[in-house]
Chain A
Amino acid sequence: MAKHLTPGRIVLYAALVLMAIYYLLPLYVMLSTSVKTLDDIRSGNLIALPQSITLDAWSKAWSSACTGVECGGMKGFFWNSVKMAVPSVLISTLIGAVNGYVVSMWRFRGSDVLFTLLLVGCFIPFQVVLLPMARLLGELGIANTTSGLILVHVIYGLAFTTLFFRNFFVTIPDELVKAARIDGAGFWTIFLRILLPISGPIFMVCVIWQFTQIWNDFLFGVVFASGESQPITVALNNLVNTSTGVKEYNVDMAAAIIAALPTLFVYMVAGRYFVRGLTAGAVKG
């Protein structure tokens, strides 16, 4: 199997390694900067190894860095994002599963048209719904709350989750469902007893996709949340772009890694499903 190392192969590997360095450099820079002292940062350079390792910047980023007027670190905003992402992901995924089941297994006259209408939600630039949404959240009294953000994320996640499940369920042979119907199984029985048990992989894909989308969202967060209800992306942006005082690059970098950890973790643990989610969302979305 092993090929001989021809000059061509050497060039090939050199190119691959160079590219790997290009992708890893920012991560290395973030990590190393986050454990340096400010003096070390000023006297050394970006890619120099830290003189000594300190976690001060990390504890400051987590609990006392200033994001605008507030100086409570990223802690509170991290939990905001958790409180926002978990329910939004679960609700949109469950509704998407049932929707996908209907549009793939229970087609009725016009269901394809309705599905296409629904899909448009994947393509619109969200700027076009921001103004009325802000108005509506205000009228409902949930502007600037986590509940408001959950509502927004569920609504605009439904098109994607429905698409995921639909694309998965159409690959399941019709005979399975037909046979179950002849045996007298109804709408919910078929869904709960036949389809759900085999839907594990698509649930993974959909949950990972939704989680990364919602955790990483900035637009909805910055428009519909303020002050204490902001998600972590907005808080990070405020922290980094706060122009008062000495710029603490090490704290910025630690905060950026904190904001990135949950999605990086998902990527490391469930990479296979992450890629599948990306590509599945991509092919049609």
Chain B
Amino acid sequence: MSTPQSQASLSALADRWLPKLVLSPTLLISLVFVYGFIAWTGWLSLTESRLLPQMDFAGLIQYQALFENDRWWTAVANLGIFGGLFIGCTLAVGLFLAVLLDQKIRSEGTLRTIYLYPMALSFIVTGTAWKWMLNPDMGLQKVINDWGFPDFTFDWLVDPDKAIYTVVIAGVWQSSGFVMALFLAGLRGIDDSIIKAAQVDGASLPVIYWRIIIPSLRPVFFSVLLILSHIAIKSFDLVMALTGGGPGTASDVPAIFMYQFAFTRGQLGLGAASAMMMLMTIVAVLVPLMYMETRSAKRG
């Protein structure tokens, strides 16, 4: 039997080292699988790798090839269109729904359940459902035609100029309920006394929302922007399921570009370069947003 004292010092020793020991596997994993792998991909993007990885430094040739590739610029332009519209519309619809639901509604729970369920679905399921609904021969177009508007056409899904907008439609459907939930939580967190005071001063409901409530949702706006831009830049599944990047390459986005060049076309270096560009885009969007958020949090 050891003395109580030595037992205590032994357990104190264990308590000093155990936390570090317990955390170390995860740290090692993220060092290798996050940082190490990013470095690996970064290096790969600086080589001449095609079908097989080659580790000899070749400078920026892959980036040069990437920037001379028309398909890449189509993908980037599509990301711009999709990202802008998706984020804008999802924000607007989500905020609109949250404000409506905030008016002491009967059966609010049911409505919330309905608005939010698409978030439980995978983008592949969402894409499959909307692909069917937007099908120009048998989908919504036919419904409207049958209703007595035989000239109505809605063939964006197969129109190279419009296909990317169908991705926006499906994306907004999928994500706006979630944004609604975030805004609703934010609205419920606002101190009632401020609103009461404004009401006493004779401000109307729209004015109260516009001047007082929505500005105080600033932190929620930041989180929502953060998440939505993240979803937009990574978006891959939805486009794959809905348009497959087509017609042709008309609705290509960087995530699909990367997948195809790296895995089906045997252009590892170019794929790696496009992946690095995606990473840089996320960093360029997230870092300023988070900086602004932490600054405003400190001030507030």
**Which B residue's beta carbon lies closest to that of A236?**
B124
* Chain B residues whose C-beta falls within 8 Å of the C-beta of A188 in the assembled complex: 18
Closest 3 CB pairs of A and B: A216-B122, A106-B19, A267-B120
Given known pairs A26-B133, A129-B41, the reply for A187 and B19 (CB within 8 Å) is yes
Which of A22, A26, A181 has the largest number of chain B CB atoms within 10 A? Answer: A26
* Chain A residues whose C-beta falls within 8 Å of the C-beta of B129 in the assembled complex: 26-27, 29-30, 253, 256
Contact across chains for B119 and A278 when beta carbons are under 8 A apart: yes
Given known pairs A99-B22, A114-B23, A162-B26, the reply for A260 and B125 (CB within 8 Å) is yes
Contact across chains for A131 and B40 when beta carbons are under 8 A apart: yes
Chain A positions near chain B (C-beta within 8 angstroms): 3, 12-13, 15-16, 19-20, 22-27, 29-30, 33, 41-42, 45-47, 95, 98-99, 102-103, 106, 108, 111, 114, 117-118, 120-121, 123-135, 155-156, 158-159, 162, 181, 184, 186-188, 212, 215-219, 222-223, 233, 236-237, 240-241, 249, 252-253, 256, 259-260, 263-264, 266-267, 271, 274-275, 278-279, 282-283, 285
Which of B11, B129, B276 has the largest number of chain A CB atoms within 10 A? Answer: B129
Assembly CA distance A233 to B40 (angstroms): 28
Smallest CB separation, B32 vs chain A (Å): 9
Contact across chains for B286 and A123 when beta carbons are under 8 A apart: yes
Assembly CA distance A238 to B66 (angstroms): 29
Assembly CA distance A259 to B254 (angstroms): 26
**Which B residue's beta carbon lies closest to that of A264?**
B120
Chain B contact patch, size range: 35 or more
Q: List 12 A-B contacts (CB under 8 A).
A: A12-B103, A26-B173, A29-B132, A41-B138, A45-B138, A99-B22, A99-B23, A127-B274, A131-B41, A218-B237, A259-B122, A279-B185
User: Chain B interface mostly helix, strand, loop or mixed?
Assistant: helix
Assembly CA distance A171 to B44 (angstroms): 43
User: Chain A interface mostly helix, strand, loop or mixed?
Assistant: helix
**Which A residue's beta carbon lies closest to that of B109?**
A271
Task: Report B267-287 CB contacts with A as 1/0, cut-off 8 Å.
Answer: 010011011101100100010
* Chain B residues whose C-beta falls within 8 Å of the C-beta of A219 in the assembled complex: 236-237, 255, 259
**Which B residue's beta carbon lies closest to that of A120?**
B34
Q: Tell which of A120, A123, A130, A135 touches B230, judged by Cβ atoms closer than 8 Å.
A: A123
Contact across chains for A128 and B38 when beta carbons are under 8 A apart: yes
CB of B153 within 8 A of chain A? no
* Chain B residues whose C-beta falls within 8 Å of the C-beta of A274 in the assembled complex: 120
Which of A3, A20, A184, A237 has the largest number of chain B CB atoms within 10 A? Answer: A237
Interface hits, B72-117 → A, CB 8 Å: 97, 100-101, 103-105, 111, 113-117
Since A106-B18, A131-B271 are in contact, a sample of 11 more A-B pairs with Cβ atoms closer than 8 Å, ordered by chain A residue number, is: A23-B114, A45-B146, A118-B26, A127-B258, A128-B278, A132-B41, A186-B18, A219-B259, A237-B241, A260-B125, A282-B182
Contact across chains for A23 and B117 when beta carbons are under 8 A apart: yes
Assembly CA distance A233 to B238 (angstroms): 11
Smallest CB separation, A143 vs chain B (Å): 12
**Which A residue's beta carbon lies closest to that of B24?**
A114
CB of B160 within 8 A of chain A? no
Q: Tell which of B37, B118, B146 touches A129, judged by Cβ atoms closer than 8 Å.
A: B37
Smallest CB separation, B94 vs chain A (Å): 11
* Chain B residues whose C-beta falls within 8 Å of the C-beta of A23 in the assembled complex: 114-115, 117-118, 173, 177
* Chain A residues whose C-beta falls within 8 Å of the C-beta of B142 in the assembled complex: 45-46
Smallest CB separation, B133 vs chain A (Å): 6
Given known pairs A45-B142, A102-B23, A117-B30, the reply for A218 and B113 (CB within 8 Å) is no
Smallest CB separation, B11 vs chain A (Å): 5
Task: Report B225-247 CB contacts with A as 1/0, cut-off 8 Å.
Answer: 00100100110110011001000
